[in-house]
Amino acid sequence: MKSTHLLSLVFCSITLLIPGCGSSSSVPCPSDQYLIDHFTLHELEFEKLIIDPVDAAQLSTLNIQRYFRSSPEQTQIWWFHVWVKDFVGLGGCAKGYAYCEEPPGSLVDDIDINTQPGAPENKDIYRHIKGKWYLFYQSNN
């Protein structure tokens, strides 16, 4: 009887923890306008970030959760994730800033009207901000 109760307790605990594992962000996906306003307010810090993209203080100041760089064989792109949602299992989505040496191929005028944040879709789109800076939204399922 005790082992059955313990097994039920373990199963319930795991079931309650799984939804929490699905997202590394408890805030809603930020709008394009919010991110653009944040970029404009902190443009100098963003330019410093490209000089030292792993500076923990700069990353924290800019609310960046994760960052990635393209492989050396490709055109240089840095992705700075502001919002991330991991799907249960494989996949997830992210929105944030990208610094691209060359313009990305999938440009849109407005990311917000072209996505359903958190939905299991396959997207990789960008919106130009200024110079080599872009907003990005990536999702894969």
pTM of this structure: 0.79
Q: What total number of domains does the chain contain?
A: 1
Q: How far apart are CA 52 and CA 46, in angstroms?
A: 10
Is there a domain that residue 15 lies in?
no
Only one residue has tokens 């810090």, namely 45
Is there a domain that residue 3 lies in?
no
3-state DSSP call for residue 12? helix
Is there a domain that residue 12 lies in?
no
Q: 11-33, pLDDT tens digit by residue?
A: 333 323 333 333 444 568 999 99
Is there a domain that residue 14 lies in?
no
Is there a domain that residue 109 lies in?
yes
29 C-beta neighbours (distance < 10 Å), count:
21
Q: 41-77, pLDDT tens digit by residue?
A: 999 999 999 999 889 999 999 999 999 998 888 889 9
Is there a domain that residue 82 lies in?
yes
Q: 102-125, pLDDT tens digit by residue?
A: 999 899 999 999 998 888 889 999
DSSP state of 102: S
Which domain covers residue 79, as residue numbers? 23-140
- The candidate with the shortest Cα–Cα distance to 94, out of 109, 78, 83, is 83
pLDDT confidence of residue 126: 98
Which amino acid would we find at residue 100? C
Q: Per-residue pLDDT for 95 more than 90?
A: yes
Is there a domain that residue 34 lies in?
yes
